[in-house]
Amino acid sequence: MTHVLEVDGLSVAAGPAARRVPLVHDVSFRLRAGEALALVGESGSGKSMTALALLGLLPRGVAVTAGSVRLLEPGDRPPLDLVTAGTRTLADVRGRRVAMVFQDPMASLNPSITVGEQIAEVHRRHLGTGRAAAARQAVDLLGAVGIKEPGRRAGDYPHTFSGGMRQRAVIAMALACEPAVLIADEPTTALDVTIQAQILDLLVRMQDDLGMAMLLVTHDLGVVAGTCHRLAVMYAGRLVEEGGVGEVFDDPAHPYTAALLAAAPENAMRGHKPQAIPGTVPAPGEPPPGCAFSSRCAHTRPDPCDTAPVELVRTGARSVRCARSADLHRRGGLRRPAEATP
Ligand SMILES: Nc1ncnc2c1ncn2[C@@H]1O[C@H](COP(=O)(O)OP(=O)(O)OP(=O)(O)O)[C@@H](O)[C@H]1O
């Protein structure tokens, strides 16, 4: 499959140069056309900072300190590095080639402009579509994302839409220019469970229909199965495991991934008690000398876990950052603890 986005050695830090606090360290991954990659991890693990860094949308005082984000362009055009791209290039790329959907749809919608006009505006700005044609496109898009009576609803203001409908409208806006990449940061977290499932179904359908690459940022492993092909797990600003969703769920190679799976509420549905992970993610700027998960890990040993930084090791399509992974695998792997003790 063709790569559309290549992220290499991406690092993000907060604060002035003299007192820089690293938030994301040396993150690399690839997004391929038609493929969905989930970026998962507990709150504070650096998922949002990674996603925002891709499009130059980091908050004030936070910046990319190393790495590249290469967006591959169609035809013979050279790839664009979104880290070094200027503001005008980024403004052109955002919404046209790479679109983003956030947790709160109201953050993306202007309350004083009708929903149809906001979607049409994306078309006009990026593709130069005429006013009437852009208005028709907006109605078509609202229909495509499941808004009933799209012709009438296009003339309504965002506050007249329910939460789920607003998120559908934001997805319509994001897909208006058929981007190559969709970044969705916790797109269903603020919605009711039944609506969450509908929005995830919509994202998967649209991703498939348009052959887009999708990066889905979530703390909820329940949304990953059935939505994404690959999974990248972040802990304390670093990738600790990456692989196909089925392979990682069946045979997690990092104790943190195994702990996340055991903590997932879906475990309750299989008759297992979800097992909370003891402790918390270490605060940024205080990295221990060895593995950052060591103090919470059921499999830790002072040597090798606490002695030196642990590298991400790639074997085939899997990557893992655990000094004991080969050893643990030899002993039968990290079966999900809840399954080991029904
Ligand atoms: N504006 C900011 N300035 C400095 N540090 C920040 C800022 N925003 C977030 N952070 C810190 O960056 C780290 C990574 O945060 P990030 O939001 O990427 O985590 P996350 O995995 O997306 O978690 P969540 O799911 O809660 O958003 C956290 O320690 C957070 O406190």
C-alpha 201/C-alpha 306 separation (Å) is 42
Structure tokens at 58: 């980091």
C-alpha 333/C-alpha 310 separation (Å) is 19
Q: Which candidate, 58, 84, 60, 61, places its Cα nearest to that of 71?
A: 84
What is the predicted pLDDT for the residue at 271?
Answer: 65
Q: Is the CB of 219 under 6 A from ligand 1?
A: yes
Judged by phi (left if over 0) then psi (alpha if -120 to 50, else beta), residue 282 lies in beta
Q: Which residue has the tokens 């109201």?
A: 106
Please state which CATH number belongs to domain 3-228. 3.40.50.300
Q: Which atom of ligand 1 is found nearest the CA of 14?
A: 4
Which positions of the chain have pLDDT values less than 50? 337-342
Structure tokens at 163: 């939460």
pTM of the complete model: 0.93
Q: Write the pLDDT tens digit of every residue in 137-155.
A: 999 999 999 999 999 999 9
ω before 158 within 30° of 0 (cis)? Answer: no
C-alpha 241/C-alpha 313 separation (Å) is 9
| Phi then psi dihedrals of residue 151, to 5 deg | -60, -40
Q: Which residue has the tokens 């690399």?
A: 28
C-alpha 249/C-alpha 256 separation (Å) is 12
What is the predicted pLDDT for the residue at 342?
Answer: 33
Q: Is the CB of 284 under 6 A from ligand 1?
A: yes
Q: Is the CB of 25 under 6 A from ligand 1?
A: no
Q: Which residue's CA is minimally distant from atom 30 of ligand 1?
A: 44
* Domain locations in the chain as residue ranges: 3-228, 234-340
- Give the DSSP letter string of 54-71: HTT-PPTTEEEEEEEEEE
What is the predicted pLDDT for the residue at 338?
Answer: 43
Q: How far is the CA of 150 from the centre of ligand 1 (A)?
A: 37
Residue type, 244: G
Structure tokens at 94: 């955002």
Q: How far is the CA of 141 from the centre of ligand 1 (A)?
A: 33
Q: How far is the CA of 132 from the centre of ligand 1 (A)?
A: 42
